[in-house]
Structure 1
Amino acid sequence: MAAAVAYEIRSAVPSADSVLVDYLAGLIDDANQEEDVLQVTRMILESPAEDDLPALDRLIERLATIVDAKHQASLADGPRNKKLDKILDMSKTGAMSSTIQFTEGVDLESINKSKATRVDVKKLEKQEAKLRAKIEKRARKDLYEGSKLLDTQRKQQQSYEEMFMKVNPIDATTAKGKSKDIHLPSIDINFGSNRILAGASLTLAHGRRYGLIGRNGVGKSTFLRAIAMRDVPIPAHISILFVEQEIIGDDTTALDSVLKADVWRDHFLREERELNARLAELEDEGTEKRIEDAKEEAAARLVEIHMKLADMESETAPARAAGLLAGLGFSEEDQGRPTRSFSGGWRMRLALARALFVKPSLLLLDEPTNHIDLNALAWLEDYLQTWQNTLLVVSHDRAFLDAVATDIIHQHSSRLDYYKGNFTQFYATKTERDLNLRKEYDTQMQYRAHLQAFIDRWRYNANRAAQAQSKIKILEKLPDLEPPEAEETEKFKFPEAEKISPPLLQLSEVTFGYTPDKIILKHVNIDVGLESRIAIVGSNGAGKSTAIKLLIGDLNATAGNVVRNGRLRIGYFAQHHVDALNAAMTPVGFLASKFPGKSEQEYRSHLGAFGITGLTGLQLIGTLSGGQKSRVAFAALSLQNPHVLLLDEPTNHLDIQGLDALMNALASWNGGVIIISHDERFITTVSNQLWVCGDGTLAKFRGDVQAYKSLIVSNIKTKP
């Protein structure tokens, strides 16, 4: 049987090492049907057979047939189990291979005794190490998937109201006189088998606004979620609200949705209505003592509820909710629409409005700038600057952090570092600190080398031995300094654009509308060349993306002329770029399907130029983070060798390093660039023209993005 198994393996996986084939053949030949050797066999052969996994699956099916046939034959011959003549002491058996822990008791020396001399022990140990690493990786993945499933199940089982009342008990609404500062000297947070924080100190002073920053994948969202679920011991009287995902749409109006977000207010209002109805019923039942006692009890409870509602400023709630919605771009008509009628981005704004309305003691926001336009962002920055409670926000938008944050928390290496001031102050302080640490480390290394050189030279010299011994003591007393962490940087690179004669791309008196009575843009004039650096801003729905689609030809103008050079290649990064990626493919496979003709190494090298390095290029796209998916999309854009890049919200999900890499790449590129973005720093760095889309027009703005944001805020404040 072993020979047949070896033949099958060599036929299906010709690249498999002969030693490995012989080992697996003996393993399968010696195994019982109950042993899961076929699963182990598949794990071991996945690496050499990665180019043809279907063939590996067929091999496992054939081997299963062979094992089953062997088992049937053994049943026909009668039982093979024998009682041992004497007890075998396993503790004294030193010749058992370490592979036993993975193969349920297979003794390698008892497999193929005649072939023992052909087994290279070092190669076998290497294969065992690979198998061990693969099993550990699969275990980590199972833990991660299990954690996600548990989290999803928890959310499905508990509604927003249930979760809110569980996380924020009624004591949180009556916390007058109690300190709302948070100080936890040592917290540990794990996600599956990954350590997010270890012995970290969490300190949040009431009324401060903290910006939480760190690389993609370091665990910032997991950290916020742990706080929101009180997995860390936050005092019960501190109310918490975490804005992480869009609300679920239903028939509730936008305004009512915001009002219902304050669960305790809604609960007390319902109880107030029930008590009033109960009192009305009791009035009609007579004047017996039992009824009078019930009336007194209901009236006393009603007074308590009125006091609680007064503390919550319940009477002003509708006006406050309407004001929040208006600031986030909801018109009076929109506020009366059901939530199911809004798109995902607008539902995210609703979730943000609900959180601001509740006014929790601790507000947690995860990338709030990803889902709003520049107009709403200007309003949100202005609103949060007067936020009186504690704010902890994850963001990669430096301008937003500069405007909002009073402190920065840097999450890295399983710890939290605190810095006073906004992002600009943090960056200056951290840069100076890192420079001083590097100087201190380099100075000590030079001093250590000097001492060691003296010791090595004179240690065995009778005249200098005492001095050498003194230097040894000095060296032993020096503190051990850890080398400073290297600053992680990324670089993106777009291929140089070919020169082509103008005009490249022009809109002349272009008008567009989906129907004659619904004109989106009218009389638009714009000229795009290789030297163009244009940023388009405006509120959502004003027509920014429509203008981009007119430029690329996805929409045809209702009136006017569109001139597009026949040799022009346009690279378009859509706002929802993830939709264009195949989640079931790897980044390498995706590029190969779109741009065939290169080797795998060339695709991996190209992805590396956009931050997709190592084995990340061989993972399924569906398992990548939002920032990594953006990098894959940029890598695909660059393979088009474009003359003009049209980028619709390219900064969403990119961390600060990725954003810096994108800005530097665009600054050094020789092609034309048009961007739609709400990131002030990105707009300022990349563009030299600001165009405003609104009221059916697209026109150049005479001023920078800061002047435009100031204009928005002043207009909001002057509205009645």
Structure 2
Amino acid sequence: MIRFQQVSLMRGIKPLLDKVDLVLNPGDKIGLIGANGAGKSSLFAMLRGELHPDQGDLSYPPTWRMAHVAQETPALDRSAIDYAIDGDVHLRKLEAELAALEVAEDTPENGNRIGELYGELADADAYTVIPRAETLLAGLGFQPEQMYQPLTSFSGGWRMRLNLAQALMCPSDLLLLDEPTNHLDLDAIIWLEDWLKRYPGTLLIISHDRDFLDEVVNVIVHIDERKLKRYGGHYSSFERQRAAQLVLAAGMIEKQQRQRAHLESFINRFKAQASKARQAQSRIKALAKMEETAPLRAAAEFSFTFREPLRSPDPLLTMDAVSAGYRFDDDQGKPVEKKILDNVKFSLQSGQRIGLLGINGAGKSTFIKTIAGEIAALAGDAEFNKGLAIGYFAQHQVEMLRHSESALWHMMKLAPTVREQELRNFLGGFNFAGDMATRPIEPFSGGEKARLALALIVWQRPNLLLLDEPTNHLDLETREALTEALAQFEGTLLLVSHDRHLLRATTDEFIIVADGEVKPFDGDLDDYKLWLYKTKLASKQAAKA
């Protein structure tokens, strides 16, 4: 078991843990949660032996083998599959010893050791390692031809998938995963869930994906007020237990009651109107969730709302026989078109709330970029209403911010004629108060930068939100704030996200991008999970044929 006994930990002058006692049992699957900066990653570093408690004792069986995900991937010419297999350090050590002995002097001692090594390699499953690695990489989204490409050919996100593959290939008794879903899309997350459910060892996960936690963990450890508190059950169970505790504290319900009244007012005004029926349904979903965890959300640090759009034209846009993709020059300087989507027929009506589904690389981001005007359609007719006002959050939106400038600078560039105090007040609503509004954003966390990117979108009062993986850097509390804000948004929403809770709570219909087409998906996320399994099974059978 893992045992914390009166553990205290400081980082600089900041106390993270204060005389903590906790016991985690072998085979537990534990979700480690807490606010950004609470000490989750530092706790992992203690388990890895990279940090040591300032006081007390942290222990687990010395015979346990530990695996974790490396944060850096060297730019090697080594193939992806070889790099993944490198995660099994013991196997690689045996292979290296065998290779050295087979070219060494032929002595009885060496011969005996070679025989022993073949037996040890069999025990280490060396003869099934390649198909096991191929299955693992396929589950994480790699195509067969990618598996034998060098690491240098992969982007940072794909290299992080390879680091995850290394950790999963390593035989272990204790597996530490820090935000394993951040660089995965929904089909890879579903595969990873199933893999982790079968994992026989003790698992600790830091994650801000509540559906992922609900599927995988049976224990929650919450870092709060420099203490570790253990809760039995998954994340939703933790929310209910913690809400029950907080309800005992005075004054925590008042804020929630105001939010509830706002939602009920909208529902009562618009549920009978056909044009607003979908939006009313989203508010009803939000209200049901709010009733369950009211005290918890009332105690949360952060919330915001999207301002009402200035106008709501209808339809917002129409596409007829549109081809979408990219234009670029080849090595000889000749213009080339790479078509991703073909013959797209799509219209977007005011008030629609659509979740966009599809496996990695199918063209979801290409579709959204075409609507956002980031790339021009290759062919066909795309008509956009003159009153269309788009708020676009790209997958790499955080990287597009100017990191040497402040949050206030970004706002003043967006609204140069607005008084500084008004902009400061607005930023304060997104937790950028005082000096934080005027300091360069470079040292901000990924979540803080994502929050700023959202603030810039909210200021513009869009009537169409195009959100491509908006939760990648957000913690659980900020994700929940975004979910509530989107549920109350008065405009039109097109959302790509691997966060199933966000999709369920804020969208009313799905479209799927697959095989170069964009078409309605008749079903919910459970149906999509079944579709993914059938699609992967069919592709495996086709590969065998």
Letter of the aligned partner of 2:340 in structure 1?
A: I
Aligned partners of 1:185 and 1:308: how far apart in 2?
38
Give the unaligned 5+ runs of structure 2.
Answer: 52-57, 252-295, 328-335
Of 305, 308, 315, which aligns to 2:127?
315
Find the residue that maps to 2:313 and give its secondary structure.
coil
Equivalents in 2 of 1:517, 1:642: separation in Å? 31
3-state SS, counterpart of residue 368 of structure 1: coil
Structure 2 letter corresponding to 1:390:
T
One-letter identity of the residue aligned with 2:380: G
2:25 partner letter: A
Residues 513 and 599 (structure 1 numbering): CA distance in 2 closer, same or farther, change over 3 Å? closer
Provide the residue aligned with 2:305 in structure 1.
493
Distance 1:583 1:390 in 2: 39
Offset at 1:436?
Answer: 4.6
- Report if the CA contact (8 A) 2:313-2:388 is conserved: no
Match of 2:4 among 181, 184, 195: 184
Is 2:457 the counterpart of 1:631? no
Which structure carries more relative contact order (alpha carbon 8 Å, separation 6+)?
Answer: 2
Runs of 4+ displaced beyond 6 Å: none
Match of 2:87 in 1: 261
Does the residue aligned with 1:563 lie in a helix, a strand or coil? strand
Structure with the largest fraction of helix = 1
Moved more, 603-612 or 536-545: 603-612
Distance 2:310 2:393 in 1: 20
Judge conservation of contact 1:691–1:701 (CA < 8 Å) in 2: yes
How far the C-alpha of 1:407 sits from its partner, in A, is 0.8
The answer (yes or no) to whether the contact 1:224–1:242 under 8 Å persists in 2 is no
Is the 8 Å Cα contact of residues 327 and 716 (structure 1) preserved in structure 2? no
1:324 aligned counterpart, secondary structure: helix
User: Could you say what secondary structure the match of 2:193 adopts?
Assistant: helix
SS of 2:181's equivalent in the other structure is helix
Do 2:22 and 2:230's aligned partners in 1 also have CA atoms closer than 8 Å? no
Contact kept? 1:212, 1:409, Cα under 8 Å: yes
Does residue 384 (structure 1) correspond to residue 196 (structure 2)? The answer is yes
Question: What is the alpha-carbon distance in structure 2 between the residues aligned to residue 192 and residue 615 of structure 1?
Answer: 21
CA contact (8 A) 1:493 1:610 kept: no
Match of 1:553 among 341, 349, 373: 373
Deviation at 1:233, TM superposition (A): 4.3
User: Contact 1:493–1:665 at 8 Å: present in 2 too?
Assistant: yes
Distance (Å, rounded) in 2 between the aligned partners of 1:691 and 1:577? 23
Specify the alignment match of 2:398 in structure 1. 578
Alpha-carbon deviations, 1:546-582, whole Å to 9, x = none?
1011101122222211011223221111111122211
The residue that corresponds to 1:21 in the other structure is none
Determine which of 431, 434, 451 is the counterpart of 2:243: 431
The 5 Å alignment of 1:434-453 reads: 434-436=246-248
Q: What SS does the aligned partner of 1:598 have?
A: coil
Q: Indicate conservation of the 8 Å contact 1:359/1:389, yes or no.
A: no
Query: Which is further off, 613-622 or 202-211?
Result: 613-622
After superposition, what is the alpha-carbon deviation per residue over 1:403-431, rounded to whole angstroms, capped at 9, x for unaligned?
01111111111111111111111111222
Question: Is 1:363 paired with 2:363?
Answer: no
Q: Do residues 347 (structure 1) and 159 (structure 2) align?
A: yes
Asked whether the 8 Å contact 2:3–2:59 carries over to 1, the reply is: no
State the one-letter code of the partner of 2:481: A
1:45-82 deviation digits (Å, cap 9, x = unpaired): xxxxxxxxxxxxxxxxxxxxxxxxxxxxxxxxxxxxxx
Task: Give the CA deviation at 1:676.
Answer: 0.8
1:347 Cα deviation after fit:
1.0
1:238 aligns with 2:57: no
Mapped contact 1:228–1:241 kept (Cα < 8 A): no
Paired residue total: 482
Once the two structures are superposed, the pairs formed by residues 386-465 of structure 1 within 5 Å of their partners are: 386-436=198-248
Deviation at 1:610, TM superposition (A): 2.3
Q: How do residues 142-291 of structure 1 correspond to structure 2 at under 5 angstroms?
A: 181-229=1-49, 231=51, 232-278=58-104, 281-282=105-106
Secondary structure of the equivalent of 2:355?
strand
- Is the 2:324–2:377 Cα contact (8 Å) retained in structure 1? yes
Partner SS, residue 274 of structure 1: helix
Once the 2 structures are TM-superposed, how far is the Cα of residue 714 of structure 1 from its aligned partner?
Answer: 4.7
Alpha-carbon separation, structure 1, partners of 2:530 and 2:34: 29
Q: 1:25 maps to what in 2? A: none
8 Å CA contact 2:311, 2:387 repeated in 1 = no
Counterpart residue type for residue 334 of structure 1: Q
Could you tell me how far apart the structure 1 residues matched to 2:536 and 2:72 are?
Answer: 25
Partner of residue 652, structure 1: 472
* C-alpha separation in 2, matches of 1:668 and 1:546: 27
* 1:643 correspondence with 2:463: yes
Structure 1 residue 182, shift from structure 2 partner: 1.7
What is the match of residue 336 of structure 1? 148
C-alpha distance in 2 between matches for 1:547 and 1:313: 44
1:537–1:678 contact (8 Å) kept in structure 2: no
The structural deviation recorded for 1:649 is 0.4
* Per-residue deviation, 1:204: 2.6
Cα shift at 1:673: 1.1
Are residue 502 (structure 1) and residue 322 (structure 2) matched? no
Offset at 1:541?
1.3
Q: Alignment RMSD, CA only?
A: 2.2
Aligned to 1:699: 519
User: Which residue of 407, 427, 436 corresponds with 1:607?
Assistant: 427
Displacement of 1:244:
4.9
1:154-208 C-alpha deviation (Å, 9 max, x unpaired): xxxxxxxxxxxxxxxxxxxxxxxxxxx2223232222222121122234332222
Return closer, same or farther for 1:494/1:235 CA change in 2, 3 Å cut-off.
same
Counterpart residue type for residue 349 of structure 1? R
For structure 1, the residue ranges without an aligned partner over 5 or more in a row are: 1-180, 283-294, 440-483
- Deviation by residue 1:68-103 (Cα, 9 ceiling, x = unmatched): xxxxxxxxxxxxxxxxxxxxxxxxxxxxxxxxxxxx
For residues 637 and 436 of structure 1, the distance between their equivalents in structure 2, rounded to whole angstroms, comes to 37
CA distance in 1, matches of 2:80, 2:247: 51
Are residues 1:568 and 2:388 paired?
A: yes
1:623 partner letter: P
Aligned residue for 2:502? 682
Aligned equivalents of 2:21 and 2:117: distance in 1?
39
- Asked which structure has the greater CA Rg, the reply is 1
Q: Distance in 1 between matches of 2:236 and 2:155?
A: 35
Determine if contact 1:212/1:394 at 8 Å carries over to the other structure: yes
Q: Is the 8 A contact 1:379 1:713 kept in 2?
A: no
- Aligned equivalent of 2:270: none
Residues 438 and 203 of structure 1: is their aligned pair in 2 closer, same or farther, counting only changes over 3 Å?
farther
Deviation at 1:532, TM superposition (A): 1.5
Distance 2:190 2:434 in 1: 39
Structure 1 letter corresponding to 2:38: V
- TM-superposed CA distance for 1:614, in Å, is 4.2
Q: Does 1:324 pair with 2:136?
A: yes
- Name the SS for the 1:391 alignment partner: strand
Tell me if the contact between 1:225 and 1:242 (Cα under 8 Å) persists in the aligned partners: no
Once the 2 structures are TM-superposed, how far is the Cα of residue 296 of structure 1 from its aligned partner? 3.4
